[in-house]
Amino acid sequence: MAKALVVDDSRAMRNIISKIITGCGFEVFQASDGSEALEVMNREFPHISVVLADWNMPTMNGLDFVKHLRADPRYAGVTVVMVTTETHIEQMTLALEAGVNEYVMKPFTGEMIADKLRLLGVLH
């Protein structure tokens, strides 16, 4: 079974996204910020293939998390989707430049998440 990591400081949002991703056939891990997410990635390496991360989080935000993740060659093949309320083109550009594969704006539907995962080839 494919494994995914959901990173968001909101427990409710983590649970919503986790339910969607579980319904897509993934085993899901959760983290409440970027620092915790890096710990999960290190612990579960090389099993997590997809990360869905929020931008705005305490301790380490989503953008910094993606930069740390992409700086480690072990995670070059991990698909990263930014799921956030940040809707300005400048933020989207920063996220894509940092190594995000796709961008989903809140609010979203389960079908929107599934469509992005299909587009990225991680869901069939």
Write down the domain spans for the chain.
3-119
What pLDDT score was predicted for residue 87? 85
Q: Is the peptide bond before 107 cis (omega within 30 degrees of 0)?
A: yes
Q: Name the pTM for this structure.
A: 0.96
Cβ atoms within 10 A of the Cβ of 38, count? 19
Facing residues of 81 across strands?
Answer: 52, 102
In 3D space, the residue among 83, 21, 81, 24 whose CA is nearest the CA of residue 51 turns out to be 81
pLDDT for position 124: 78
116 pLDDT higher than 90: yes
**Could you give the strand order of the β-sheet that contains 79-84, starting from the edge strand earlier in sequence?**
27-31, 3-7, 48-53, 79-84, 102-105
CATH of domain 3-119: 3.40.50.2300
Structure tokens at 77: 């093949």
pLDDT tens string 8-25: 999 999 999 999 999 999
Does pLDDT of 86 surpass 90?
Answer: no
